[in-house]
Amino acid sequence: MRALSRRGMLGLGAGAAAAVSLAGCGGLTGSDDSGRADGSGGDSVQGGSKPKPTARPIGDGSTSRTGKQPHQPAKPEPLEPGQTPPQFVVFSWDGAGEVGNGLFPRFLDLAKEHGASMTFFLSGLYLLPESKKRLYNPPNNPRGASDIGYLTDEHVKDTLKNVRRAWLEGHEIGTHFNGHFCGESHGSVKNWTPRQWRSEIDQAKSFVKEWRTNTGWTDLPSLPFDYDKELVGGRTPCLLGQDNLLPTARELGWRYDASSPGGLQVWPAKRQGIWDLPLQQIPFPGRGFEVLSMDYNMLANQSLNSTKAPAHNYPGWRKQSAQAYIQGFKRAYETNRAPFFIGNHFEQWNGGIYMDAVEEAFQYIAREKEKGADVRLVSFRQFTDWLDVQKPEVLDKLRTLGVGQQPTGGWREFTGKASTPGGDASPNAA
């Protein structure tokens, strides 16, 4: 198993470290055999079978068109006057490589158990064999360079299998781009121009769309989606470079970006015409500051970037991390109902406590949903679908609520006024 390289930390103030977006390690488990060898999948819906679509290969057959994505929520509708907003929660994963520890299928199984959708930000290099690394020409870096390791051939196969399963089970496949260049050097993504971001995105897409040509493998099923249409958002390495990425994202028709370097638990707005959906500052139990809603930031504040700290710390740190997510969820649900965004990596830092913590938080949130709370465990794309059908004056009014602020007069009065002509909605923040 290849070790991942170069973990840095971007300071955000208030004691919180920004996320370093490295994919952790995962591997082939054989737990999923869904879908047919032709790439069409074997979708079924609750209450009866659904005809299997016919796959139409795209290009070299690495991807294919298989029709509408399975397991999607009902078409979103605008909030009615006086209606309480749902509590949206998005679990997302940076890198999304399956390289030996079974974490990708572990969280696919968890999502399937609770009828949840997630977003997987796939690093394009995770579908490119190391033997072909010179196909990658990163901006301001040597050809073939990468600050994350290339996967072994077996792990590329494992990643293909799990990405395919993820889409067939209703999850979103976004992008984490390619070489993960951070830091202060000239080659860092924070220095890339819009044109260089376009090159990086084109290459990330090509590695997904041409894995069959690049690997020479003919015995594996295609990915069952058209990546040109599927890809509508991403998260940059280390949360760097968003300002120059956004013009390119808009040009490509992307609908959202999750790369802001730290946000608050408030309703989102648009930047340069793109929904800005950042990781968020959330309570950090026992500490006088808040922490960004991602595993690396728990690590940075608990063990000062060490991924193998003394094991006697693990139980307390695991509990603290899980409670940070849970308290962040409760603060939003009980007050302004701002969407809650969580980002993680498939990693085993400090004995795997951060994976256990995010699973504990997920189970807590899912139980609230199953007890009748209007909680929706969705992907970024699905949440963006909901945003796009809301009345502008309603979103304007929601954006007036601060962190932990309850609506004056209750939701019936608050959103009722927002939907009434001449109501006191604020100027459009988008």
* Amino acid at position 389, single letter: V
DSSP 291: E
**Cβ atoms of 36 and 53 closer than 8 Å:** no
The contacts of residue 47 (CB under 8 Å, 6+ apart) are none
Q: How confident is the model at residue 64 (pLDDT cuts 50, 70, 90)?
A: very high
Q: What is the pLDDT of residue 21?
A: 32
Please tell me the class of the 10-25+72-418 domain. Answer: alpha beta
Structure tokens at 76: 């979103």
Helical ranges in 210-352 per DSSP H = 211-215, 227-230, 242-251, 295-303, 314-334
For the chain, what are the domain ranges? 10-25+72-418
Q: What pLDDT, in 10s, does the model give residues 91-121?
A: 999 999 998 899 999 999 999 999 999 999 9
Least confident of 183-187, 221-225, 317-321: 183-187
Own/partner pairs, 242-248, CB within 8 angstroms, 24+ separation:
242/271, 244/192, 244/193, 244/194, 244/196, 244/197, 245/192, 245/194, 245/197, 246/271, 246/272, 246/274, 247/194, 247/272, 248/194, 248/195, 248/197, 248/198, 248/201
Q: How confident is the model at residue 419 (pLDDT cuts 50, 70, 90)?
A: low
Q: What is the pLDDT of residue 18?
A: 35
pLDDT of 4 above 60: no
Longest dimension (CA), the chain: 63
Looking at residues 400-424, what average pLDDT do you find?
84
Q: How confident is the model at residue 219 (pLDDT cuts 50, 70, 90)?
A: very high
Q: What is the pLDDT of residue 53?
A: 61
Q: What is the pLDDT of residue 321?
A: 98
* Amino acid at position 173, single letter: I
Q: What is the pLDDT of residue 395?
A: 98
Distance between CA atoms of 92 and 258, rounded to whole angstroms? 10
Q: What is the pLDDT of residue 14?
A: 33
3-state helix, strand, coil in the chain (%, to 5): 35, 15, 50
The contacts of residue 258 (CB under 8 Å, 6+ apart) are 92, 119, 121, 174, 233, 234, 235, 277, 278, 279, 341, 343, 380
Q: What is the pLDDT of residue 417?
A: 80
Q: Mean pLDDT score of the chain, rounded to an integer? A: 88
pLDDT of 20 above 80: no
Percent of the chain clearing pLDDT 70 (strictly above): 85
pLDDT of 380 above 90: yes
Distance between CA atoms of 182 and 61, rounded to whole angstroms? 33
pLDDT of 77 above 90: yes
Looking at residues 281-295, what average pLDDT do you find?
97
Q: How confident is the model at residue 22 (pLDDT cuts 50, 70, 90)?
A: very low
Q: What is the pLDDT of residue 3?
A: 33
